[in-house]
Amino acid sequence: MMVMELNLIMVSTLSMILFVIGVYGLVSKRNLLRLIFSIEIMINAATLNFVAFAAYLGSSMSVAQIAGVIIIALAAAEAAAGLSLILEAHRLRKDVVVDQLREMKG
Amino acid sequence: MIFPPGPLDPIIIFLATLSVMSAIIALESRQIVYGAVSLIVMFLGISAIFLYLGGLYLGVVQLGVYVGAIGVLILFAVILVGESRTPEPNVNRIIGATAAMIVLGSLLVGFTALQMLPAPHHVGAQELSRIASRLMRDYGLVIVALGSLLASTAFGSVMITRR
């Protein structure tokens, strides 16, 4: 194994661990805010992969950064919409537990 | 320097440990305010990794948008909403851990594909002007779509919380 690959493996492992932590939070937590936390962790893990592989391959760093910026903008939109829905849910239910919002399924 | 040589970079190890610990604390802290602060620390760690890997532009954007905007937005929401009164059932943790293990297993299978990567070749630091020109030339439509999405999200959020 090349010495250079060790850092790529390190960053990829970090990305994988963060993604798995996000999945754990998404499945196990019922608090809407913690679900938003989990989604943000998973988005960061995905963005990290773009930069890690671009830095390793060397040729497409600008494209990776542009992809990262697009992901961050989408995450900002998701956080804004999600948090406003959480505030509204809190106003209606006085709590932010996802089980109480099941009736939205119709 | 992009991926500097060395068995395992101590800076990367430190930043990775910081990010992972912060992510765990963000989800498992007893008080959610500490969780939000810990999430911001994780954003900082990821931003530092971006900067260290040579992604200067993305690192600064991460610092400005995630730490500066999204982090503070989450903190405000946490302060407004407060602690949930419903405790998390323990059985959910077991289900979550099982799901996480399944995802980890499938990711590890994909991880073996790293050996098929071509050999690394290094380029110098990318100039910001090159990123800017590519952003406007090749991704102009995407930027306009993103701007429209952000504007409509802001409008929708205001409409939802206005009442």
Q: Which domain covers residue A94, as residue numbers?
A: 3-105
Give helix B71-81 / helix A61-93 axis angle, nearest 10°: 10
Residue A56: which of B4, B20, B120 has the nearest Cβ?
B120
Contact B40, B67 (CB under 8 A): yes
The whole-number pLDDT of residue A3 equals 43
Q: Show residues of chain B in contact with A62, CB under 8 Å.
A: 126, 130-131, 134
CB atoms inside a 10 Å sphere around CB A2: 10
Average pLDDT, integer, range B117-146: 73
Counted across chains A and B, CB pairs separated by less than 8 A come out at 256
Residue B120: which of A17, A51, A58 has the nearest Cβ?
A58
Contact A18, A84 (CB under 8 A): no
Identify the band that residue B107 occupies on the pLDDT scale cut at 50, 70 and 90: confident
DSSP string, A21-44: HHHHHHHH--BHHHHHHHHHHHHH
Does the residue B95 lie in any domain? no
Judge: A72–B27 Cβ closer than 8 Å, yes or no: no
Higher pLDDT among residues B137 and B4, named by residue: B137
Identify the band that residue B117 occupies on the pLDDT scale cut at 50, 70 and 90: low
Domain CATH code at residue B52: 1.20.120.1200
Q: Which long-range contacts (CB under 8 A, 24 or more apart) does B104-113 make?
A: B104/A16, B104/A20, B107/A16, B107/A19, B107/A20, B108/A16, B111/A12, B111/A13, B111/A16
29-48 of B, contacting A, C-beta below 8 A? 32, 35-36, 39, 42-43, 46
The whole-number pLDDT of residue B131 equals 79
Instruction: Specify whether B6 is located in the same domain as B73.
Output: yes
Reported as a single tens digit per residue, the pLDDT across B11-47 is: 888 999 999 999 999 999 989 999 999 999 999 999 9
C-alpha B72 chain-centroid distance:
15
Instruction: Specify whether B79 is located in the same domain as B134.
Output: no
The whole-number pLDDT of residue A14 equals 92
Does the residue B118 lie in any domain? no
Instruction: Specify whether B13 is located in the same domain as B63.
Output: yes
A41 touches chain B (CB under 8 A): yes
The whole-number pLDDT of residue B101 equals 86
Query: ipTM of the assembly?
Result: 0.89
Does the residue B115 lie in any domain? no
Instruction: Specify whether B76 is located in the same domain as B146.
Output: no
Q: Domains in chain B: how many in total? A: 2
- Tokens representing A29? 């937590």
Identify the band that residue B95 occupies on the pLDDT scale cut at 50, 70 and 90: confident
Does the residue B96 lie in any domain? no
Q: Domains in chain A: how many in total? A: 1
Judge: A51–B42 Cβ closer than 8 Å, yes or no: no
Q: Is the dihedral of CA B56, B60, B66, B67 positive or negative?
A: positive
Q: Which domain covers residue B152, as residue numbers?
A: 127-163
Domain CATH code at residue A13: 1.10.287.3510
* Pairwise CA distance, residues A71 & B148, whole Å: 15
